[in-house]
Amino acid sequence: MLPYILKRIGWMLATLWVIITLTFFLMHSIPGSPFNEERATSEAVQKNLEEYYHLDEPLFIQYVMYLKSVVTFDFGPSIKKSSQSVNEMLGRGFPVSFELGMATLVLAVVSGLLLGVAAALRHNGLIDYIAMTVAVIGISVPNFVLATFLIQQMSVNLGILPVATWASPRHMILPVAALATGPMAIIARLTRSSMLEVLTQDYIRTAKAKGLSPFKIVFKHALKNALLPVVTIVGSLAAAILTGTFVIEKIFAIPGMGKYFVESINQRDYPVIMGTTVFYSLVLIIMLFLVDIAYGLLDPRIKLHQKGER
C-alpha cells in the first residue's frame, strides 16, 4: 500500500506543477501584462503586486518566486481591493463552498447509489424504469437551469423555500438539490450498469451455488465489486461539483469562493483568478488522491499490481 500511495503523491505533485506552470504562463501571455499599473486600482495595490510578483525581475525568476510562494500557501494580492489578499478571500469563501460541495457530494453519492442498486435489482421493472427516467433527465438538464427552475417553482410560485443566500439549513436545500442532481444521475446510471454486469459474473453464480440468500449475494458479493467503477468517477464528479458551485453560488448569491471567483473573472482581477485556480486544483487533486486510496482499500488486487490504468 505505501509504495502505491507514494507513487500517487508523485503524480499529484506533477499534475499540480503542470497547473501552476500553465496558469502562470497563460496569465503572463495576456497582451500587456495583467499585473501592470494601468490595471491596478491604487498605489497600494501596485506595491503589493510588485512585491508579490517580483515584476522587476526576469520572467523565469518571477516564475520560480511564484512557485515558492505557492508552495508556502501564499496566493498573492488582489488587484481590485488593496486591503484584500487571495488568502483572505479563500479563508472567507472556502468554508461556505466546502459545506455546499460536501453536502452535494454526499447527497449525490448516497442517493445515486441507492437509486442505481434499486434499479439493477428490479431490472426492467417499474423502479428501474422510474430511476432511469429520473437519471436521464438529471443528466440532460444543466444545473443552472435546474437551479433557476427550482427558484421559480419553490420560492416564487410556492414560496416554501428561501430564494437565496446561505443563512440556515433551509437555505441549503435548493442549491444542494440543484447541484447534486447531475452527479446523482451519473452515479445512479453507472451503479446500475456496473451492478448488472457484476450480477452476471461467475463468482455470483458460485455464491448462489452455495445457497446464500439474495440479500447476502447482493450486499456481500456484488455491491463491493459494483462499487469499484463508481469510485473511480467520484473524483471527476467532485470536479464537476466544484465548478458547479461557481454558477450555483452566483444564482443563489451564496458568499462562497465560487462567487468571488466569478466576480474576479468578470472584473479581470487576474491575480485572484490565478490564485483561486491553483487553490481549486489543489483541492481537486487531493480529492482524486483520496478517491484513489479508497479504491485501493476496496480492491485487494491493487496492492500487488499498482498500475495507474483505470
Q: Where do contacts with another protein occur on this chain (CB under 8 A)?
A: 11-12, 14-15, 18-19, 22-23, 26-27, 29-30, 136-137, 139-142, 144-145, 148-149, 151-152, 156, 163, 200-203, 205-213, 216, 220-221, 224-225, 239-240, 242-243, 246-247, 250-251, 262, 265-266, 268, 270, 273, 277, 280-281, 284-285, 288, 298-301, 304, 308
User: Which residue, 126 or 304, is less far from another protein as judged by CB?
Assistant: 304
Structural element, H or E, at residue 209: helix 202-209
CB of 304 to another protein, least distance (A): 7
- Min separation Cβ 43 and another protein, Å: 25
Burial (CB count within 10 angstroms: exposed 0-12, middle 13-18, buried 19+), residue 214 = exposed
How far is Cα 94 from Cα 283, in angstroms, rounded to an integer?
Answer: 10
Q: Nearest Cα to 42, choosing from 82, 77, 78?
A: 82
* Residue with smaller CB distance to another protein, 110 or 137: 137
Quick one: 83 or 133, whose CB is closer to another protein?
133
Closest CA to 23 of 245, 279, 304: 279
Residue 102 C-beta-side C-alpha neighbours within 13 Å = 7
Which residue, 44 or 221, is less far from another protein as judged by CB?
Answer: 221
Q: Rounded to the nearest whole angstrom, what is the least distance from the CB of residue 27 to another protein in the complex? A: 7
* Residue 159 vs 169, nearer CB to another protein: 159
CA dihedral 155, 167, 258, 271 (to 10 degrees): 140
Residue 9: CB partners within 8 Å, gap ≥ 6? 289
For the bound state, the minimum distance from the C-beta of residue 137 to another protein, rounded and expressed in Å, comes to 7
Closest approach of another protein to the CB of residue 177, in Å: 16
Measured CA to CA, the distance from residue 245 to residue 238 in angstroms comes to 11
